[in-house]
Amino acid sequence: MTTFVLVHGAWHGAWCWHKLVPELQALGHRAVTFDLPGHGNDTTLRRKVTLDSYATSIVKVLDSIDEKVILAGHSMGGMAITAATEQRPEKIKALVYLTAFLPRNGESLFAIEERNPRPSVPENLVPAANGKTASLNPERVVDLFYHDCSAQDIVYATEHLTPQPLELLSTPVKITEAGFGSVPRIYVECTDDHAISIELQRDMIAASPCVQVISLHTSHSPFFSMPKELALALARLA
């Protein structure tokens, strides 16, 4: 049995894994999910959320588990797992980037996004009046995240989305070869992703080579569109 710690992306929460968790369990594995600060049921004030607070919340989960885990991050969650790994590389068997941002040292999410040949999310941000958070253009969110998902999953997801704290998206990560660089990483590319284009995914992989790349022909949300196939791919890593 392998323990998977699953870290959600921007606007999402632990709720997004509800179809993947039972699939992993059916294959004999354990899946741990939780809300990052300011997401889901977590009550942290969003204006106080930072990349460091994301990393700290992940480290607390890692420290609560006795064995090494496979740490997986979706989308923006890639930034969070990268920052956390620098603090606890010894707790992690492998990193999985699920159509996620994979930064080099000194890069922020927004800096990586500038290399996207088909940018879509930044131009659809709807900032709050205080400028601290943003929602997404409701007319575009389905195409960006869920275009191949069922109507039921789309309703469920869009009802659960919450505003995204913005400051951490421009915060660069600080990583070293001795920390983050010591943990093997795997990338799960989603070839029909309308949020993080496949070109940008492959650009990140080329800049930070991974020990394995897995391809799924799916949207930005394979945990909804093909949870069984995603679970099988993850289980093979275990």
Active site residues per annotation: 75, 193, 220
- Residue located via tokens 């930070």: 208
Phi then psi for 45, rounded to 5 degrees?
Answer: -60, 125
Nearest to 183 by CA among 84, 92, 101, 74: 92
Distance CA 170, CA 138 (A): 23
114 vs 93, 97, 140, 190, 223, CA distance in Å?
Answer: 31, 19, 20, 19, 26
- Residue located via tokens 């800096």: 111
Written as six digits, the tokens of 184 are 């093997």
Distance CA 33, CA 225 (A): 19
**Are 82 and 180 in contact, with CB atoms under 8 Å apart?**
yes
**Are 72 and 186 in contact, with CB atoms under 8 Å apart?**
no
Nearest to 89 by CA among 71, 77, 75: 71
Distance CA 51, CA 224 (A): 26
